[in-house]
Structure 1
Amino acid sequence: MYNKHLLEPIYGFLKCTTPDSWVEEACKPENLTVILRDHLLCELKAAQSAAFLLKRYALTDDGKEQITQLIEPYEVFAYKGIGSLETLKGKSNISKSIRPKDGCSYGKDMIDKMVLLIREELHHFYQVLEIIEQQGLTYRPITASRYAKGMMKHVRTFEPAALVDKLIVGAFIEARSCERFAKLAPYLVDETLQKFYISLLRSEARHYQDYLELAQKIAGENITKRIEVFANIESELIISDDFDFKFHSGTPKIIVPV
């Protein structure tokens, strides 16, 4: 179905695999709308997170404006319901090159990696929206799971440690997405959705590696211990009971009416 060697580094990076009970819940027809709507917003949040890092740490004012304009149509659709597949078509491109601000030693590398990631995540957003419409479902916003916030609250508050931690968190989010797509795909009845999830594996695997490479470069020292800290936090979020079923949620804890 896919190149298993692609996932070997992912399995070595993550401390646990997705619980089978999550896959069972995700495969229920009534949860398809939850999975797809949450997936759509996850793609947007991935683009927003990368954009935040660029604007906070690497870009000139002109670059910040370009990134803001790139993402804005997707945000307006996702949160305000303004727009459509037609208005979003071809919007994931940047008209001119973006340069780093003066004195940012890692700026060009961050821009190269994060701009590509943003463009890919926005394209995936568009693809998920296509599938939502093909399935005859209606998009409406959905609240975020505890997952990303559960890791971000452990980010250190001084620089460059805060940036390093944010990049490590980004790596775990991308790695978990890749692992989850791979685990869920074989059980999906819908062939279009199955093929789509498999098609995402290569980019998600590269995104996690890009985040880690940036973290290591900026830290200037071994980051193994910080990776281990977040590996433990991330795995606890995945294997612990979770009453809120979402794409990145933990072990489903279903309330049975009495």
Structure 2
Amino acid sequence: MYSELLAPIHAFLKCDTPDSWIAAAIKPENLATLLIDHCNCELKAAQTAMFLMRKYALDKDSGTLLLQWAKPYEDFVYGKDSNVADFLVNNSKKNDVAIEFVAKQGFEQGSVLISKMVRLIKEEFHHFEQVLAIMHARNIPYENRRAGRYAKGMMKLVRTHEPASMIDKLIIGAFIEARSCERFAKLAPHLDEVLNKFYVSLLRSEARHYQDYLVLAEAIATVDISERVAIIGAREAELITAIDHEFNFHSGAQGVEKD
């Protein structure tokens, strides 16, 4: 049913998710970890897009508006004694508010980046709320988690000079979104009805997010980025196929290394 949607994803990624990760992910004892980490991934995706907007595309006043948009989410995540039910009720409509962001001068692709990132942020915040609601219904408490080996390993590839740094961050964003989409599709058939339906519902937006990041990287670079995509893609595949002794949403193969 979704083969046409997923075909570009599989062509873009340099490997499939290892079967050992799928086997670990569908174990009942790993469900809480899977959902908690997924929830954190949705928030981090929104925060990453916000960082890109603030650093590269927004004027000062718009940067302040962006921080105000993020504040309820960050207050919940980093605050003490945060109440999930209250957050979900009080924040249910705030993410729908239209904000007029203004691009800073001197960045030709600023308005395009803002347009794509605002849509992505809205969707990622909404997904964060959806996962949180599923967790709440199953009595799984939320916890803030640090970035795992996968994210850290990808970010080590970012070059330190501009615009190369921005281009690398966009390409990495494309790979993370593509990997998420691939894993949602692989996981869905093995999950209960609620999670199956939810993960399938995420496929279209995640596929578009990967494309948006890649289109932005190509537009900002103004030159062929295929070599850089290949380098980052090869590293992404290494992180996904290498044995990972910790389980999370973007962890690598699960198992014990042989001597």
TM-score (norm. length: structure 2): 0.94
C-alpha deviation, 1:183, in angstroms: 0.5
1:187 aligns with 190
CA RMSD of aligned residues (A): 1.3
**Counterpart AA for 1:198:** V
C-alpha deviation, 1:94, in angstroms: 3.9
C-alpha deviation, 1:254, in angstroms: 5.3
Q: Per-residue displacement from partner, 1:29-74 (whole Å, max 9, x unpaired)?
A: 1111101110111000000000000000000111111111111211
C-alpha deviation, 1:103, in angstroms: 1.7
SS at match of 1:7: helix
1:115 aligns with 118
Q: Per-residue displacement from partner, 1:126-178 (whole Å, max 9, x unpaired)?
A: 00011001112222223321111101111111111111000000000000000
2:167 aligns with 164
C-alpha deviation, 1:82, in angstroms: 2.5
- The alignment status of 1:68 with 2:67, answered yes or no, reads yes
Structure 2 residue ranges without an equivalent (≥5): none
Q: Per-residue displacement from partner, 1:65-97 (whole Å, max 9, x unpaired)?
A: 111111121122122253421122122134431
1:242 aligns with 244
**Closer, same or farther: CA 254–138 of 1 in aligned 2, 3 Å:** farther
Which one of 205, 211, 231 corresponds to residue 207 of structure 2?
A: 205
2:14 aligns with 15
- Give the Cα separation in 2 of the matches to 1:142 and 1:50: 19
2:51 aligns with 52
Is contact 2:243-2:256 (8 Å) kept?
Answer: no
Structure 1 residue ranges without an equivalent (≥5): none
Which stretch has the larger CA shift, 15-24 or 90-99?
Answer: 90-99
SS at match of 1:222: coil
- Give the Cα separation in 2 of the matches to 1:29 and 1:144: 23
TM-score (norm. length: structure 1): 0.95
**Counterpart AA for 1:17:** D
SS at match of 1:248: coil
Which stretch has the larger CA shift, 131-140 or 151-160?
Answer: 131-140
- Give the Cα separation in 2 of the matches to 1:164 and 1:142: 27
Alignment of 1:11-50 (within 5 A): 11-50=10-49
Which stretch has the larger CA shift, 82-91 or 234-243?
Answer: 82-91
* Aligned residues between the structures: 253
